[in-house]
Amino acid sequence: MREQLEKIKEEALKQIAASDALEKLNDIRVSYLGKKGELTNLLKGMKNVAPEERPKVGQMVNDARAVIEGKLEEAKTALAKKAREEQLKREVIDVTLPAKKNNVGHSHPNTIALEAVERIFVGMGYEVIEGPEIEYDEYNFTKLNIPPNHPAKDEQDTFYINKDIVLRTQTSPVQARTMEKGKLPIRMISPGRVFRSDEVDATHSPSFHQVEGLVIDKNITLADLKGTLAEFAKEMFGEDTKVKFRPHHFPFTEPSAEMDVSCFKCGGKGCRFCKGSGWIEILGCGMVHPHVLEMCGIDPDAYTGFAFGVGLERIALLKYEIDDMRLLYENDIRFLKQF
Ligand code: DAH
């Protein structure tokens, strides 16, 4: 019996040593120490042992059991440790590696320019009002003093949806819509997309953006227009910026003007940027035509006002010295990131 016991113990220890998984250790425990395990079976053979020998043999079986249990426990701990070490090895982090960069988006130069324009005018107490891109001919032209057959309708290369509905060629129709609402005084800007059937080149696109401005109140004069736009130019292009107004013609304003700003590259001395003139054309403006006020339900004897229109792309191209408008529509992140 002693020999049998030694054999069982040896065999068990051999199997434990060769085990490489927790489940295998569990199987070994069951097959040796379980209810039907080999050691348990051996104990059943005790009845054949002489009574005086029994305590001794019992002690031996218990010792063997303790040794096997001890080894099983040891093997289990060793396996768990190995598993932990392997996990650590798998999850090792090299803290000296450069961090992965998240590729975040970037504001478009148009958006940056628009936000600057909005900040300036909202700071002066203007409201931002938007209008529809698909517009009635009546608002885009008629109510702005551009009657049927007026050459401006041709000039602007309009996209017609039908004879009454167009893709707006300018943001000026928002003036008429705002005046018609009848809430006075008005101090508003209206940014948005406009459309003209122009061929694409470095300075033209069939779709671009304008910001319209409109002020209507009692006693508004040309001096208010000049003061406001001069202040806008300073905030937009720098404190030393000078402005110059050249007479022009727009059907919806009288008198009308174009405003130039002193070249912010050379300060007005003349350079390649301003084509040697020292001045850069920025926007159109004028005093709202009395006929326009009347058509929009405002008494021109009681109220006057001024209006202006700025091309947003033009501002973005000038401010960031971009020489091809097409770059603004490609949305290449490598280009956009520069601003
Ligand atoms: N709507 C004009 C254009 O598209 C720009 C403009 C000029 C708007 C003078 C105005 C203005 O409000 O007073 O060319």
pLDDT in tens, 9-47: 888 888 888 888 888 888 888 888 888 888 788 777 777
253 lines ligand 1 (CB under 6 A): yes
pLDDT at 156: 57
pLDDT at 59: 84
pLDDT at 161: 93
What is the distance in A from the centroid of ligand 1 to the CA of 316? 18
pLDDT in tens, 279-337: 999 999 999 999 999 999 999 999 999 999 999 999 999 888 898 999 999 988 889 98
* Protein residue with least CA distance to atom 6, ligand 1: 309
303 lines ligand 1 (CB under 6 A): no
170 lines ligand 1 (CB under 6 A): yes
Ligand 1 nearest-atom number relative to CA 194: 4
**Under 8 Å between Cβ of 258 and 272:** no
**At residue 150, what is the residue type?**
H
What is the distance in A from the centroid of ligand 1 to the CA of 214? 10
195 lines ligand 1 (CB under 6 A): no
Q: Which residues of the chain have pLDDT under 50?
A: none
Q: Name the pTM for this structure.
A: 0.72
* Protein residue with least CA distance to atom 8, ligand 1: 309
pLDDT at 152: 65
What is the distance in A from the centroid of ligand 1 to the CA of 289? 12
Residue 109: cis peptide before it, omega within 30 degrees of 0: no
